[in-house]
Amino acid sequence: MYSTVREALFGDEDIYAGFPLQEYPLDRHTWGGTDPIFGRLIAEVRPSRIIEAGTWRGWSAITMARACREHNVDCREIVCVDTWLGAGTHLVKEPDGTVIPSPMRTALNRRFGYPRIYDQFLANVIHTGCHDLIVPFAAPTNMAGSVLRTIGLQAELIYLDADHSYESVATDLRSFWPLLAPGGVFMAHDYATGFPGCRLAIDEFSEAHGLTRYVERAWCLLVK
C-alpha cells in the first residue's frame, strides 16, 4: 500500500533533479489556470490530495499549489495527468490550409516531430518552486485513471480540463469519479464556454448520479 502517488510512480527518484532550467524561461500561457476560483476552492475544501487531468504548461496546478501554501492547507501532492501532447486540433492545419491557433501550435515545441510541452511544464513548476507538491503523471487520462484506481488513493479535489469532446469527458468522469473522496469536489472546466459535448457529458453524468451542478462562469462543480 502506497501513501502517495509520487511514491507509487517514482519511488525515491527525484524526477526534477538535473533539469536544464536555464534553457526554459518561465512561460505563462494557460487556459484559466490562474483564476481566483482555485484559491477559493482550496481554502474551502482543504484537500490533502489533488488530482488534475489536463495540465498543459502547469498553471492550474501551480495556482493550486500556491493556494495550498497561502491557506496553510496540508496537501501532500497535486497529481497532474497529461499526455503533454496537446489536442488534436493543435496538430494539424485546417482543410483550407490555415494554421490553427498558432500560439498553441508553437507551444507544442515539437522536436524531431514530437511535442515537448512537458519540458516547459517542468520548468514552470521548478521556476515557481512548486516541485515539492506537483507530481507529473504522463499518460492518457483513461490509462492514468485506471492506474490511480489500482493504487487506491483518493483526492478531495479533482480538476478535469483535458480533452473536451463528449466521449472523453464522459469517459473521464466515469474514470475519475471513484477517485474522489466522499465530500470532495469535482471541478470541470469549459462547461459553459463553447464545448457542447463537454457540457452534455457533465449534464448526463450528474443527472444519472443525482448530483447538483454548481456552475460558476466556465466551471462546473460536482460534490460527492
What are the residues binding ligand SAM (CB under 6 A)? 30-33, 54-56, 59-60, 81-87, 140-141, 161-163, 168
What φ, ψ does residue 191 adopt, rounded to 5°?
-70, -35
178: helix, coil or strand? Answer: helix
Please, what is the minimum distance in Å from the beta carbon of residue 182 to ligand SAM? 25
Please, what is the minimum distance in Å from the beta carbon of residue 169 to ligand SAM? 10
Nearer to ligand SAM, 55 or 154 (CB): 55
Nearer to ligand SAM, 77 or 82 (CB): 82
Please, what is the minimum distance in Å from the beta carbon of residue 210 to ligand SAM? 27
Nearer to ligand SAM, 25 or 207 (CB): 25
What is the rounded distance in angstroms from the CA atom of residue 98 to the CA atom of residue 103? 13
Q: Identify the helix (H) or strand (E) that includes residue 78.
A: strand 77-82
Nearer to ligand SAM, 29 or 46 (CB): 29
The order of strands in the sheet holding 180-188 is 134-138, 77-82, 49-53, 155-160, 180-188, 219-223, 214-216
